Amino acid sequence: MTDLGWREAIVKVLQDAGEPMHYTEIAEAIADQELRTDFGANPATSVNSTISQSLQNDADSSLFIRVARGQYYLRNPPERLPATGTELNDIVEAASEETGLINAFGMYWARDKVLWKSTPQIFGQQQPGSTPVDFTGQKGVYLLHDARDVVYVGRTTEQPLGVRLKQHTTDRLNGRWDRFSWFGVFDVTEDGTLLGEHSERFSLENLIVTMEALLIEGLEPPQNRKRGDDFRAVEFLQVEDPELEKSHILKLMDELKKKL
């Protein structure tokens, strides 16, 4: 595996792509191409931060240009996209300035990978190799699934995600769900903590983008070939609670002792 710095990895991805990319797509490409060994907790944030710092510190000498919200390209690309002129302006105008109110989400996470103690820890990672993040304090909306069927829709406002899901392990829904999906408004920092506030400015267009994206992601209608327009929230993959794995090992050891 190659181990490039964030800036070098971003440049390589953009050179290979030959077109502007959103920072979440750049992060995914870096992982797919195995350009780094250490990804941290939020590779997408690391990419966005690296580019933003370059634009702020280097100004016109930066390697990057911002063509739209969250969309970047190389200032001097290898003869694939003009740095000035009508074609670049067209790209800027075509790119959306709205990305919705959701910043992170997880789909079809397994109930049995969470240790449902009084304050459960709900772990996920952006991609294999990145640092796990605890989404217990996330707020937004969630779905409970029986296999792949949605059996309940809930929200997390005063009580965070972990508390609400814990309640469903003892209430009337206890035996009716084995998976859950969630859509959160709190973003994840580079060190793996949740931002406890949401800075996105509300707008009608933002709300509509978010509503469409949630319906498409949650219901998976067969005629929709893509996510909702401009839905750039980062998907996280579930990670089993380490304490749960330890409890499985201890239980196995106890069973072996009884047989000896």
Per-residue pLDDT tens over the stretch 100-122: 688 889 999 999 999 999 889 99
Residue 79 has pLDDT above 80, yes or no: no
Per-domain residue ranges of the chain: 6-94, 104-245
Phi/psi of residue 163, nearest 5 degrees? -65, -45
Question: Residue 58: its pLDDT value, please?
Answer: 86
- What DSSP line would sit under 143-175, residue for residue? EEEETTEEEEEEEESSS-HHHHHHHTTTSTTGG
Where residue 155 falls among pLDDT bands split at 50, 70, 90?
very high
At 167, the amino acid letter reads Q
The one-letter amino acid code at 46 reads S
Q: Please tell me the distance from the alpha carbon of residue 217 to that of residue 234, in angstroms, as a whole number.
A: 13
- Cross-strand bridge partners of residue 239: 123
Give the single-character DSSP code of 80.
Answer: S
Residue whose entry in the numeric block shows the structure tokens 């670049």: 88
| pLDDT at residue 70 in the model | 78
Query: What confidence score (pLDDT) does residue 41 get?
Result: 80
Helix (H), strand (E) counts: the chain: 7, 11
The pLDDT score that the predictor gives to residue 254 is 74
Q: How far is CA 118 from CA 2, 139, 165, 188, in A?
A: 43, 18, 11, 24
Question: 139-143, 196-200, 248-252: which range is least confident on average?
Answer: 196-200
**Which whole number is the average pLDDT over 82-97?**
39
Helix axes 6-17, 43-58, angle to 10 degrees: 90
High-pLDDT (> 70) share of the chain, %: 83
252's enclosing H/E stretch is helix 242-259
Q: Which strands, in side-by-side order, build the sheet including 123-125?
A: 133-134, 123-125, 237-239
| Rounded mean pLDDT, 4-10 | 92
> Rounded to whole angstroms, how far apart are CA atoms 52 and 39?
18
Contact 7, 75 (CB under 8 A): no
Among residues of the chain, what percentage have pLDDT more than 90? 34
Burial class, 251, CB count within 10 angstroms (exposed 0-12 / middle 13-18 / buried 19+): exposed
pLDDT score recorded for residue 1: 55
**Residues pairing with 154 in the sheet:** 142
Most confident of 31-35, 100-104, 219-223, 252-256: 31-35
162 — pLDDT class (breaks 50, 70, 90) = very high
- 167 has a pLDDT exceeding 90: yes
Average confidence (pLDDT) over 183-207: 76
Q: Taking 70 as the threshold, does the pLDDT of residue 93 lie above it?
A: no
Measured distance CA(246)–CA(168) in Å, rounded: 24
Task: Check residue 131 and report its DSSP letter.
Answer: P
Q: Quote the tokens at residue 235.
A: 């998907």
pLDDT at 95 over 70: no
Residue 8 has pLDDT above 90, yes or no: yes
Confidence of residue 226 (pLDDT cuts 50, 70, 90): low
Cα of 55 vs its chain's centroid, Å: 24
Q: What would the mean pLDDT of 152-177 be, rounded to a whole number?
A: 95
State how far the Cα of 132 lies from the Cα of 193, in Å rounded to an integer: 10
Q: What is the pTM of this model?
A: 0.66
Per residue in 36-69, pLDDT tens? 888 888 888 889 889 988 988 888 889 998 887 6
